[in-house]
Structure 1
């Protein structure tokens, strides 16, 4: 693998088997990208250009696969995947494009984290919410299963502010989101039987004009690799989370 993580000359690269990737969070490493790409195709080279002074990457890079077919498959299967909350942008390399890793390197500024955790894609969709269920109730109800990293969202009418009957919760890992689905799907919350499932991703999949759901194999692989490489902040222990996970029986009714 050592020979894979290197900068290859343009003359040596198989352009038809190469992809350009961008919108990379500063926490992403070459090793993490390699472990992601190798799951879906044999990687020949991978290059994540770094600032010569700061030694931080510049948010983009190139990956070359063994064949053009491998590159096409990866382009399709990883469409819409998120790395630390950012959508991984992938596209074919222009045959006339010449790489210059050091270009504008001195102008690159590493981004800073703005969330209380890392967004791995553990986003849930809750529907059939009672009109009285607000953001605070969602947080109070779902925080017992794990660390919520984004403010809970209740979809509302822009004019009246009335609830549209559905909302979203985002956790920092899939253990929490899986547990929330297990414990809360079909539960009565303020007189309404709610449905809890993984939310759809924002991006369309290929030419089908369909959207995939969060919680897929690729997102879980990324989350697991991030933990292995110590790139996920340690969570603060939560007595509520600990006690809820130790229970084996599912609560049948929750009232507001």
Structure 2
């Protein structure tokens, strides 16, 4: 079954209800909107999605072949929550078959859900790359006079992990949290030089194990390495830093029109605007300084506790040696 899925033939009917934006026209337009593809090989794999026509104006069935393996990165698991798309502004009379047909060229989905009354649905594709391509191609496409709004669904089973030791890797983090349930992805966050930041995140396959991990780590002291420094686990804050808030989605409220009366500008010295803008800047600077002072205090307290811990560990080992419990 896996082999059949790895190399599948997807057939596209000329009567398909939606034509992806990136497939309209020729030349460079075929790569339009394929943001999120990190390598040339991924972009080349994405081009496999573009059908080619032969035989002039004769009516024909156009097909293409997708090698699903080319869309899975090394070690990436298939059909994870990262591959789940939210589709908004759906027609109220859309059927499940119509919904699946929208995404048929991007592989076989594992989850399809539609709320017709509220006009939205969810679909889960096999890989993140396929989901990226589907989102880029179909977002904004008109379906029955409605522009589709496609976003990645919020991951409801993701946790942030803090206080990580510099020796903790992605693999160790996944191994540690797998005791609570299946883990889809575990990542240790690094800076621009590849150095561990002491933070990471764990994405579970479902909510129950994520809740279990959160409760157990809050009630107990979960240690990942020899050092008795427990990790801190919190629900992960999730932001949309890719699509943001486009103008077309802004709600044109009374406040919107009032605030938009003035264009972007620099406040002129000596004006009412400049006076209060300066007071806001002073308040922001005070907040920045106080946060920096708190960070320094916390950092010094951690360094002191770490030194005390090492001294106490040494004393403890000496005591055990005197008692003959270790050599």
Normalised TM-score (structure 1): 0.39
Q: Does 1 or 2 have the higher relative contact order (CA < 8 Å, sep 6+)?
A: 1
Looking at CA atoms only, which structure, 1 or 2, has the larger radius of gyration?
A: 2
Question: Relative to total residues, which structure has the larger helix share, 1 or 2?
Answer: 2
